[in-house]
Structures are given as structure tokens and as C-alpha cells.
Amino acid sequence: MSILALLEAKGVKAYYSVRRGYVQAVDNVDLVINKGTTLGLAGESGCGKSTLVNTLMMNVKPPLHLIEGTIILDSKVISDMGMSILKKNIWGVIVSLVPQSALNALMPTKSIEGFVRDVIGHHMSVSDSEIMSMAKKRFEELNLPVEALSMYPHELSGGMKQRSVIAISTLLNPKLLIVDEPTSALDVSTQKQVLRMLIDLRKTGITESMVFVTHDIAVLKQIADRITIMYAGKIVESAPTDNMLYDPKHPYTYSLINAVVTPEPEVRKRGLTSIPGEPPNLLDPPKGCRFHPRCLKAMDICKSIEPNLLERWGNHLVACHLFPSNS
């Protein structure tokens, strides 16, 4: 494992067991997250991005199973750890996940302070007053009103709730913060506030690295250093942000990025592309490259052999037979 890497995942297969078989939600994924980066993980719904980030921190409960693969986080092999060690030493401490439904997960009968106690309580044997002063200090650091701590969820706006949840998730300064669709339910101005806070978390050094899961690629232009695109449970391309947005190589990525519509004259000029067909059923995915049934550039080899994710053009990786290995 390189010294630059905070998290390294190799050959990760995470499947959901259902009556008819296994839904191959994450299939043979290799991923490296370097220290000090914000990685944007993007793809359409059903591509496996939420499953992947949960698996990366070993938040794996039936019907989800980690079939194969190793995950090394901060030089520890967390894929071998038991639940109790994960809860005590890893979750909240080294990695924190703010899930998609975080806004709705707040108990309506507990104030934000109560939530803080729940989250911090079983990690450190610190007194209650110390926990509260930690929370107050952190809120001040992040320009959040301290009064919010004593309020109940229904008294706070959506944006305020989201920022509070994120702030509390980082109280113990985890090295890696994973946020799953944190702004999808928010209006654009509130979204900008939340994004600003996420950037502050990196700037102030409270968190070292971040993974931002979304289907909204324009947001990633604003905050991500690197973008990774998933399709049907696999990583198809991974590159620094501007490379990905302005020079996408994989046919799927190309179409996906050209389907983004923002109020810019460039978008009007290039038009919008769409891809025929629908994403595949992951109970029985297509053989070979999972995108080949919808790919306008599909070749014979694509129907039978899965392309590997290869590094080309210096830290721009792509899994496509159009770009075979250099040798």
C-alpha cells in the first residue's frame, strides 16, 4: 500500500442475497483514496455507489455480504475486523459516513445535543460537559449557530439539519468523511452552504479526505479533486476532475457528462446526449463489459471479456477495450 493512500480497496465484491440469487451490486472494484483528496463518486441510481461506500467502511449487514476483497484503511485491514472493533475504533474515529437519509434519521424527540451524546458517548470516556464543549467549539469553528445544539430537529431547516449532522459526524476528527447524496433534497442556495462547509472541513484540517457520492456531476466540478464513475456495479473511469469533465474516454462517461444540463452556453452548443436502452438487471448482468448492450462503439471482444480498470495517461484510469493496456 502506497504511503499516499488513506484507503485501498482491492477486488471488492459486495452482493445482496435475495430469493432468486445474488444482486451483484458492487463487482470486483479496486479503489484508492489518497490522503488529502476529495473524491467524487458519481453514477446513476442503481449503479452501486451507495453500496460501495458502505462496504468501504465495512458497514455490511445481511442481506448485503462482502463476498471477496480486502479493504485497508489507515494501514489497518478493516475487512478482517469484527463489528465491535469497527464500532469502537474505526467508525466515527477514522471514518465517518453521513448516509443518504441522514435528515430523516434524526429522532424527532431528541435535541441535537442528545444526538451528540449518542454519537460520542460510546466512543470516549469523556464527561458530558467535555462532550458539549467539544460540540460547541466545533460549531463555532464551522460557523454554525451554537443555539442549534439545544433545538429539536423540527425547529431546524433542512440545510441546518444537514450541516449539524455533518458537523457532529466529524467531532472526533475522522480522517475520512463519506457523504452520500448530502444535498439532493436541498434547494441550490442551501446546497451551496452545505458544500461550503464541506470545503471548510478540509481547509481547516478537521478531515483529511472526503468521498462525495452523488448523481449531480456539476456539483463535483465545484468541490471534487477527482471523479470516479460507476456503472452497473463497476468502476468504468476515474480521473482528476477537469480531465474527467472535458476529456472523458469511456463511452458511458462521455454520454453521461454530455447529458448534464446546466445554464451555460457551452451546454446549449453541444446539445444533450442520451443513451439507448436501460441499465442492466444486476441479478443477471450481461457477460463481458456490462455496458456493451447500450454502447455504440461495442466490439466483439466487449461481449465476452470484461475490460480491466487500467491506468493510462497518468492517473486517468478507464475500463474499456477501446483503450487496452499500453503494452
The torsion region of residue 179 among left (phi > 0), alpha (psi -120 to 50) and beta comes to beta
Q: State the binding string over 230-269 for other proteins (x if CB under 8 A, else -).
A: ---------------x---------xxx-xxxxxx-xxx-
Which of these segments, 32-40, 64-72, 182-190, 310-318, binds other proteins (CB under 8 A)?
Answer: 182-190
Nearest 10 degrees: CA dihedral of 102, 65, 178, 181?
Answer: -50
User: Looking at beta carbons only, is 10 or 196 nearer to other proteins?
Assistant: 196
User: Looking at beta carbons only, is 15 or 252 nearer to other proteins?
Assistant: 252
How crowded is the C-beta side of 74, counted as CA atoms within 13 Å?
13
- Comparing CA positions, the residue from 21, 130, 8, 159 lying closest to residue 69 is 8
Nearest-approach distance from CB 179 to other proteins, in angstroms: 15
Query: What is the distance between the alpha carbons of residues 208 and 205, in angstroms, rounded to a whole number?
Result: 6
User: Looking at beta carbons only, is 60 or 260 nearer to other proteins?
Assistant: 260
Nearest-approach distance from CB 4 to other proteins, in angstroms: 25
User: Looking at beta carbons only, is 134 or 267 nearer to other proteins?
Assistant: 267
Query: What is the distance between the alpha carbons of residues 198 and 38, in angstroms, rounded to a whole number?
Result: 10
User: Looking at beta carbons only, is 82 or 271 nearer to other proteins?
Assistant: 271
Which of these segments, 5-13, 82-90, 146-154, 194-202, binds other proteins (CB under 8 A)?
Answer: 194-202
**Contact call for residues 87 and 124 (beta carbons, < 8 A):** no
Query: What is the distance between the alpha carbons of residues 18 and 10, in angstroms, rounded to a whole number?
Result: 25
Contact with other proteins (CB under 8 A) among 2, 3, 45, 327: 45
Asked whether position 178 contacts other proteins by CB under 8 A, the answer is no
Strands 95-98 and 310-312: unpaired
DSSP code per residue over 32-70: EEETT-EEEEE--TTSSHHHHHHHHTT---TTEEEEEEE
Nearest-approach distance from CB 113 to other proteins, in angstroms: 29
User: Looking at beta carbons only, is 61 or 266 nearer to other proteins?
Assistant: 266
The residue with cell 485491514 is 77
Nearest 10 degrees: CA dihedral of 37, 38, 39, 41?
Answer: 170
User: Looking at beta carbons only, is 205 or 263 nearer to other proteins?
Assistant: 263
Nearest-approach distance from CB 44 to other proteins, in angstroms: 5
Q: Which residues bind other proteins (CB under 8 A)?
A: 44-45, 187-189, 191-192, 195-196, 199, 215-219, 221-223, 245, 255-257, 259-264, 266-268, 271-276, 278-279
